[in-house]
A and B are shown apart, each in its own frame.
Chain A
Amino acid sequence: MLFCLTTQELMERPDLWEAVHRLRYQIFVEEMGWEDLRRPDGFEVDQFDHDEAVHQIVIRGNEIAGYQRMLPTTRPHLLTEVLTDLSEGTPPSGPNIWELTRYAVASGFRDGRRGVSTVGTELIAGFVEWGLKRGVDKVIIEFEPMWVLRALQLHFLATPLGYQRTYGNQQVVATLLTFNEHTLEVVRSRRNHHAPVLARGYPDMFGQRRAS
């Protein structure tokens, strides 16, 4: 199940807030080595965790299995502020275009060594479902060029926004992905799972077992 929370809603749930920002720290600072984000408290937080950000969280059992953050392009976002050299010319923006950032699958939920895990595809199904519901049909993602192939396999229409660059030992390319109902169908049939993934409401309190 994938839960969508605003930053405000996330702050009202300290258990969840801590788990989200600790997972981000583990993956982006400790694993990927984004040293600019290193902090003594072990939480990864930046200026884009603002009141219009949407935090999408995949819960498995009583744990966070996956996470991504959606940012509106109608205000400053990573491509316009931080990763500016990934874009040739003015990046596209508008109410129907959001930026997907901090895509993360927790280490215990990466099924194979190489392929995309079921949590990974749930995140993809999640942002497509979420977007189609609220009139969003494009996302900007800064990802490894290899994801271009996967996006095309899932029938997204992909357009590069600039050339690929090397950051550390990682290659990154900013890409605009356009999607529609057909994309959602392809993603769902790839997953072999046709039920919606978006959950209503909030996850259970962490550390508390669900009454069964």
Chain B
Amino acid sequence: MSQFDRTLEYIDQLQHAATAAAVCERLLGVTSDFGLTALMAGTVPQPGTPVGQQKQHVLLCDWPVEWLERYVARNYVDHDPVVSHMKQLQAPFKWQEAARGVSIDKSSGEVMGDAGSFKLRDGLAFPLITLDGQIVMVSLGGEAVELSAAEFGLVSLVSTYAVGRAMQLHTMAGRTIDHIELTPRERECLQWAAVGKSEWEISQILGISEHTSEKHLLNAKSKLGAVNRVQAVAEAIRRGYIS
């Protein structure tokens, strides 16, 4: 069987995977031949996205758990040279190229060094753009990565199909990728509602009219798809908009 026929077979298997975990497993089955043993794909959070929300941007993940925890807890996404490189470029690139490209600030160096300690020494990454213009970043890594130019193309093509399948599964599960945006005022009002303040009290605290605070809460409620204020608060906490 030619290498291309094998690629087609991988892609066919990917398109029949029933869960995101199965997609990961099948993709890594292909890429681990080249030393790429860990995988992460998701939409890129805006800088400053609350930590609690970052995990909801993930589409595919087979990444060392402790590394992921640390990455989220330390907010590495804002300092990761691979992520900032990806926001500028369209073509696939190797991690090391991204690290060389930026004048490493202290935090960037820390991200790359830390990745190494989790056996993620090099990898490849590339951005994809969805129909509505969201950037999906795909990153594959491992300890000893060896890829020829042709294999590089193969891996990025198969990964694209994997992400496409993951997005299909994501929509089928009825979960849309999170892009609810609450205004700072809506967030503030919810924050005060969460500690039991009434609309009138919130209006006094924030120096706005009672009508305005009511309006902010109503908007937040509808954006969060909640039926009442209690659910809106709960949903906002779950999504990490307020604490």
Find out whether the CB atom of B132 lies under 8 angstroms from the CB atom of A159.
no
Extra inter-chain contacts (5) besides given A115-B129, A153-B167, CB under 8 Å: A88-B2, A116-B131, A152-B161, A152-B164, A164-B153
A89 and B128 alpha carbons, distance in the complex (Å): 28
Find out whether the CB atom of B133 lies under 8 angstroms from the CB atom of A114.
yes
A148 within 8 A of B: yes
Q: Which of under 10, 10 to 19, 20 to 34, or 35 or more describes the interface residues of B?
A: 20 to 34
The distance from the CB of A109 to the nearest CB of chain B, in whole angstroms, is 15
Find out whether the CB atom of A154 lies under 8 angstroms from the CB atom of B91.
no
A144 and B129 alpha carbons, distance in the complex (Å): 11
Chain A residues, Cβ within 8 Å of B165: 152
Find out whether the CB atom of A154 lies under 8 angstroms from the CB atom of B157.
no
Find out whether the CB atom of A163 lies under 8 angstroms from the CB atom of B4.
yes
Chain B residues, Cβ within 8 Å of A190: 131
A163 and B90 alpha carbons, distance in the complex (Å): 17
Among the 9-residue stretches B7-15, B190-198, B204-212, the one with 4 or more Cβ atoms under 8 Å from chain A is: B7-15
A interface residues (Cβ-Cβ under 8 A, vs B): 88-89, 112-116, 121, 144-146, 148-155, 157-160, 162-165, 171, 173, 190
Find out whether the CB atom of B7 lies under 8 angstroms from the CB atom of A160.
yes
A146 and B167 alpha carbons, distance in the complex (Å): 14
Q: Could you tell me the dominant secondary structure of chain B's interface residues?
A: helix
Q: Which of B130-180 contact A (CB under 8 A)?
A: 130-136, 150, 153-154, 156-157, 160-161, 163-165, 167-168, 171
A5 and B168 alpha carbons, distance in the complex (Å): 34
A165 and B2 alpha carbons, distance in the complex (Å): 18
The distance from the CB of B241 to the nearest CB of chain A, in whole angstroms, is 25
A165 and B135 alpha carbons, distance in the complex (Å): 22
- Taking CB as reference atom, which chain B residue is nearest A166? B91
A186 and B95 alpha carbons, distance in the complex (Å): 36
Given the known inter-chain contacts A114-B133, A153-B131, A190-B131, please indicate yes or no for A146 contacting B153, CB distance below 8 A. no
Q: Which of B70-113 contact A (CB under 8 A)?
A: 90-91
The distance from the CB of B236 to the nearest CB of chain A, in whole angstroms, is 27
Given the known inter-chain contacts A152-B161, A163-B153, please indicate yes or no for A115 contacting B131, CB distance below 8 A. yes
Task: Please name the 9 residue pairs, one residue from A and one from B, whose CB atoms are nearest each other, closest first.
Answer: A115-B133, A152-B164, A114-B133, A88-B4, A115-B132, A149-B128, A148-B160, A112-B133, A149-B164
The distance from the CB of B92 to the nearest CB of chain A, in whole angstroms, is 8
- Taking CB as reference atom, which chain A residue is nearest B156? A145
The distance from the CB of B152 to the nearest CB of chain A, in whole angstroms, is 10
Chain A residues, Cβ within 8 Å of B129: 114-115, 146, 149-150
For B90, B91, B132, B160, which residue has the most chain A Cβ atoms within 10 angstroms? B160
The distance from the CB of A190 to the nearest CB of chain B, in whole angstroms, is 7
The distance from the CB of A26 to the nearest CB of chain B, in whole angstroms, is 22
For B129, B167, B168, which residue has the most chain A Cβ atoms within 10 angstroms? B129
The distance from the CB of A38 to the nearest CB of chain B, in whole angstroms, is 25
The distance from the CB of A174 to the nearest CB of chain B, in whole angstroms, is 11
Chain B residues, Cβ within 8 Å of A165: 153
Given the known inter-chain contacts A116-B131, A150-B130, A153-B167, please indicate yes or no for A158 contacting B153, CB distance below 8 A. no
Find out whether the CB atom of B167 lies under 8 angstroms from the CB atom of A160.
no
The distance from the CB of B130 to the nearest CB of chain A, in whole angstroms, is 6
Find out whether the CB atom of B133 lies under 8 angstroms from the CB atom of A153.
no
A155 and B135 alpha carbons, distance in the complex (Å): 19
Given the known inter-chain contacts A114-B135, A115-B130, A160-B7, please indicate yes or no for A145 contacting B157, CB distance below 8 A. yes
- Taking CB as reference atom, which chain B residue is nearest A114? B133
Find out whether the CB atom of A152 lies under 8 angstroms from the CB atom of B135.
no
A86 and B11 alpha carbons, distance in the complex (Å): 17
- Taking CB as reference atom, which chain B residue is nearest A112? B133
The distance from the CB of A139 to the nearest CB of chain B, in whole angstroms, is 17
Chain A residues, Cβ within 8 Å of B157: 145, 148, 160, 163-164, 173
A159 and B134 alpha carbons, distance in the complex (Å): 23
Given the known inter-chain contacts A88-B4, A113-B133, please indicate yes or no for A153 contacting B168, CB distance below 8 A. yes
Chain B residues, Cβ within 8 Å of A89: 4
**Residue contacts A-B, CB under 8 angstroms, 25 given:** A113-B133, A115-B129, A115-B133, A116-B132, A116-B133, A145-B157, A146-B129, A148-B157, A148-B160, A148-B164, A149-B164, A149-B167, A150-B131, A152-B165, A153-B164, A155-B168, A159-B11, A160-B7, A160-B11, A160-B157, A163-B4, A164-B153, A164-B157, A171-B91, A173-B157
